[in-house]
Each structure stands twice: as structure tokens, then as C-alpha cells.
Amino acid sequence: MIFSPSKLLSFLSGLAGQGGDVDRPPEVPAGRRLYVIGDIHGRADLLMTLRRQIREDAEGRGAARNVVIHIGDYVDRGEESHRVLDMLLDDPLPDFESIHLLGNHEKSLLQFLADASIGPYWVRYGGDATLYSFGVRPPAASASAAEFERARQLFASNFPSRYRSFLETLSCAHEEGDYLFVHAGIRPGIPLDRQSPDDLLWIREDFLFSNASHGRVVVHGHSISDQPEVRHNRIGIDTGAFASGHLTCLVLEGAERRFLQT
Ligand SMILES: [Mn+2]
């Protein structure tokens, strides 16, 4: 076999399981401008501000198909889970394509709707704020099973069924060009179609500390950093908005990357 230098590089990188990231920078498909929003966690105020920044950014650039990708964790922790879901469902950015991924907090919300036994766990990591925002006084984590069941029933009647349908149909991953978008990350060494949903929603160290090439650059939230984390194999965009006030958006256009932030 005779290879040109660039073919040889891509052949070798293919052998190493590294996809195409040796001979050219990662790109999104031509004509698409992606705005990827990190973990919102009930901060409708920050989402409003960031959307204004996104609109202004898009207006100041050339013609392109504008796409906004939400990386999951819309609810819990911050005070306005209800309003965030209202914005996502009923007030999307006009003329933008909207993509929503499932986060582990949405998964827990759905689990609580179906079965109150997750309640003591969920209220300890932010579900109490979601219950409040839907008019339910959250039981203490130590409350009885009967109290959690009462809270579940009230929450189920206050939580609009179309919101539940929306959350139930969210997917765990989205691919564009050389990028993969997931809430938490992927388990290194396993093809995307064999990843477990639990890993896509929950994984931390095994993914964050991996130096492996994943074939695509993985854009994710879930694990908080002060500033976006840009590595060769992943970009983390969860800047802990619910507490820091900094909601981050990664903008991808061609091979270009830039950030907007509240
Ligand atoms: Mn998360």
C-alpha cells in the first residue's frame, strides 16, 4: 500500500482509534453555527441573559443555520425550574433550531414522578428546589415514605403532562461533524452505540481524567469547573451557573470555537 502523507496520517490515526483528529482540527458541518448551553439548573434569569448574548452574536455574524443545543440539567438547585421549562418548551429562540439533551436531574425528576422512593435522595441534591417551584413543599430527606408519596402525588398533578412527555422523549446524545454532545461524558473505549445511558448521564472521573481520543470531541456539562475546560478530547461547559451566576455557551462554527458567558 502506498499512502500520501495525509492519507498515511489518517490511516495511522485510524489504527490508533483516534478518528480524524491528527491531520485537521475538529469541525462542525459547513453552514451550521452551534450554540451549546451548559447546565442551567433553574436559573431562568441567566438563560434570559445568555439568550440575548446569543441573539446578538448571531446577528453580528454571517448567514448560517443557527442551532442551540442544551446539554441537560434544566431543573433542580436554582429557584426557577418551572420557568426554565416554560422557556424551553414555549419560548424557544426564534429562527433557531433547538436541540435538548437529557440530564441526570431530569432523569431523577421522571423517576420521582413514577416512584416516590427516590425522593429522599433527590431532595438532597437539588430536587427540593424543583418541588418548590411547582408548588410542592419538599419533605425533609428523613421524612417517611408516606410523606414522599403525598409529595409525589401533588407534584404529579402540578407537573404538566406535556412537560413530562417532553422530558421523556429527550435523547442522551447528539452528533454533529467531529463533535459529540452528551450531558456527562462517555465511557472511554466503548463505541457510542454501546454506551450505557447511566454513563452518558452520570460519568465523572473515568471520563474526565481520560487522555484517550474518543473519535469525536465530546462536549459535556455535569462536572463543574470555574471556567470552560478545553482538552484535546473533550470540552466541559458546566460553570456551576446555579451558584456562580456564570452560565456558559460554547459557539462552534467551522473549525472555530469561542465562548459566551453570563
Ligand atoms: Mn448533571
pLDDT tens digits, one per residue of 201-211: 999 999 999 99
CB-based contacts of 175, cutoff 8 Å, min separation 6: 181, 192, 216
Whether the pTM exceeds 0.75: the reply is yes
Segment 163-173 mean pLDDT: 97
Q: For residue 14, is pLDDT > 80?
A: no
pLDDT of the residue at 5: 43
What is the Å distance from ligand 1's center to 27 Cα? 26
What is the Å distance from ligand 1's center to 193 Cα? 21
What is the Å distance from ligand 1's center to 95 Cα? 28
What is the Å distance from ligand 1's center to 201 Cα? 7
> Which has the minimum average pLDDT: 11-15, 28-32, 150-154?
11-15
What is the Å distance from ligand 1's center to 171 Cα? 14
What is the Å distance from ligand 1's center to 126 Cα? 11
**Which residues sit with Cβ closer than 5 angstroms to ligand 1, an ion?**
73, 103-104, 222
Asked whether the CA dihedral 229, 225, 173, 82 is positive or negative, the reply is negative
C-alpha cell at 238: 458546566
Q: For the CA atoms of the chain, what is the radius of gyration?
A: 20
Q: For residue 20, is pLDDT > 70?
A: no
Q: pLDDT digits over 72-105, tens only?
A: 999 999 999 999 999 999 999 999 999 999 999 9
pLDDT of the residue at 62: 87
> Which has the minimum average pLDDT: 8-12, 127-131, 192-196?
8-12
Q: For residue 191, is pLDDT > 70?
A: yes
